[in-house]
Chain A
Amino acid sequence: MSAPHRRTLSRAGRRRLAGIAMTSPALAMITLFFFVPLVMMLWMSLHDWPLLGEHHFTGLKNYREALHDTEFRTAVIFTVKYTLITTPVLFVLGLAMALLVRHKRRGARFFQAVYFLPVVVGLASAAFLWLFMFQSDIGPAGDLADHLGLGSRTTNWFAGSTSAMLVVIGMVTWKIVGLQMLLLLTGLRSIPTDAEEAARIDGASRLQTFRYVILPLLRPTLALVLVFSVAGSLLAFDQFYVMTGGGPSNSTITAVYEIYRASFIKFQLGYGSALSALLMIVLAAVSAIQMLLLRSSDH
């Protein structure tokens, strides 16, 4: 009796140990690269902490200043505007492309690969590529606009705040939409074909099938894609840093850009940390709201 009993115990113990063993590398990584910096950032945000020299505790002073910082407010408003434009564009195009390549028709694989290709280019490289393409006098985009009668070779696309933002959004769409397509495609493929067939047999039109069958079943994927997309846009930095440098006249400075400026231009690491903490809170709240909205309602 006792021998098998002991064996089950040790098996359970072994399983537990194996569990710890398998999760500990991930835990260690998360602790090292997320929790430790996070705690440090929160600690620094409570100090007047210059890049060089003495730091001292100031409590919530940085946060109070941040709430009255007009430059940061302008940056946040711009970031929200950018997110509100980018998210639907990416989503609609991504979904349309996913629907196009969903069925295993001839050529579907090919287009799937073509749409996905820009995703494997680094964001900074893609930004430099587009910066060159839209450079007045030398960029091919100016040539194209000239031939189509939309503009001239000498048009400086980055001189207007709207046109500068549109060029950046164009680049981001080209670069990211393939990833959204891929995510939505896996969602679409996981919908059982029986459900669609049943709807067809009941006489539902293509649009009705999409609206009442596909879209509701796609909900978990939609949540994932939207959270990704919104978080990515709210954290935008590289594309603006490379392509517009925040210009013209500081009209395209994002929240993260402002954090960068506070920390590494003005050398106020403590204040930069406070701005980061605020941004993190907003981001967590926005993501949570999205998850809630897309999870329950009609279930």
Chain B
Amino acid sequence: MRTRTTAASALLMSVALLATACGGSGSNTSGSGSGTITLWARDSQKGFINILADAWNKDHDTKVKATVVPVANFVQKFGTAAAGGSGPDVASIDLVYLPYFASTGVLDDITDLANKLPYKDGLSAAHRKLATYNGRTYALPFTAEASVLFYNKDLFRKAGLDPDKPPANYAEIISAAKKIRALGKDIHGYAIAGQCGGCEIFEFTPHIWASGGDVLSADGKKALFDTPEVTDALTFYRKLYTDGSMPTQSKTDTGTNQPAAFQSGKLGMTPLGAFFVQVLKKDKKVDFGVAPLPGRNGGSASFAGGDEIAVTKNAKNKAQAHEFVRWATGEQAQTILAENSIVPVRTDLIDKIYTPLDPRYKVLAAAMEKGRTPYSTVENALFNDNNGPWVNMINRAVFDGDIAKAQQEGQKAAQSIIDDAS
């Protein structure tokens, strides 16, 4: 009996110890013994991450072991693991989260490594900016993404529009969407994912940028949700909805309906990213074109998305981990990415390894090179949260119609999130 209670109290003790370890800086318990580097990536990267790891493993003694984490809770999983000291050596992180992770001190400072790269100025500018916190660099650019407008050339022809001349401002999109909508009861002109924060920041912000506005001040300390450029962009979406060009699913779409609708061939236009080119090419069902996302009176902009690759502070195999992230930005690794339909982050190589693969890649490469990304340590709460102020403002303005009130309340909510964090 005594042994039982002793065992029980020992168990409790160990739990208590574990609990304390959760809060402090626990030891690294990841399985990275000598000779392995553990790498975490999002499940949207599973198509190429192992190919990349295999390429590295072929000519290196230290082996990379990739673990794929579901994209929906990557931040939480990586955050908790890093806090508990059980994180990986290397992580591929959505660039919008870089300021947050850098600010919390879980990433290794790799400023010297980054500055020594001979091609450092050829790396995507948006990625470099997001990887910088207080003047120090915490990650290297890894994969790129760019938001562009996809349009169905068959529907353009049927509606009497020129498939080689995609719409270049708000009015042209609205009128093209209307003409396509008129083709049939189940055919729509334009679709968005109205309840998906990650989608909206990626697809809607470029309109504001292309019109000369922004959503955050340059230092990230002020929300700009109530500016006239935002009003214009919201009015543009609202018009698409009231015209009936937008399907009713758009209001509650968390990002699953929008691509599926375009793949079915019953949707004229939709804003999406480079990854979708690959999906459509595999499908071989829709004859599609790719165009830049325009501003109110022309111009264009794009959201520079993608991932950065970082070494964690508690990495066991730091020297090798550094070597791996450096290699990941090199020509061999970036060529593997391009061959797997990922936009490379090397603007100095893009015309050699990426654009020759498909004529539509030219638009994507150009969009990536001038792409922008909002910089904030509270990006997740501001934009990517499906119930956050950004999504809520767009959803209410576009589908309920009171644009001024939606903007005003969105501005207030966003500013209070920023103020709480500082």
Contacts and interface: CB of A to CB of B under 8 A. Distances in A.
A137 B254 CA distance: 16
A267 B380 contact: yes
A265 B381 CA distance: 6
B1 A247 contact: no
B70 interface: no
A147 interface: no
**Prevailing SS type, chain A contact patch:** loop
A155 B249 CA distance: 9
A253 interface: yes
Interface stretch (B3-11, B116-124, B152-160): B3-11
Interface stretch (B230-238, B322-330, B383-391): B383-391
A10 B86 CA distance: 50
Interface residues of B, number: 43
Contacts of A21: 1, 4
A265 B392 contact: no
Contacts of A250: 387, 392
B411 interface: no
Contacts of A244: 252
Nearest to A36: B15
A55 B248 contact: no
B105 interface: yes
Interface in A266-288: 266-267
Contact of A52 (B11, B15, B82, B385): B82
A253 B387 contact: yes
B104 A249 contact: no
Contacts of A257: 387
B320 to A, nearest CB: 24
A246 B387 CA distance: 7
B192 to A, nearest CB: 14
A182 B76 CA distance: 39
Contacts of A52: 79, 82-83, 101, 104-106
A115 interface: no
Given A32-B11, A36-B12, A52-B104, A159 B82 contact: no
B195 interface: yes
A221 interface: no
B23 interface: yes
Q: Which 5 pairs between the two chains have the least Cβ-Cβ distance?
A: A52-B104, A156-B248, A53-B104, A158-B252, A246-B387
8 contacts: A32-B11, A51-B76, A53-B104, A159-B399, A246-B387, A249-B400, A266-B381, A266-B385
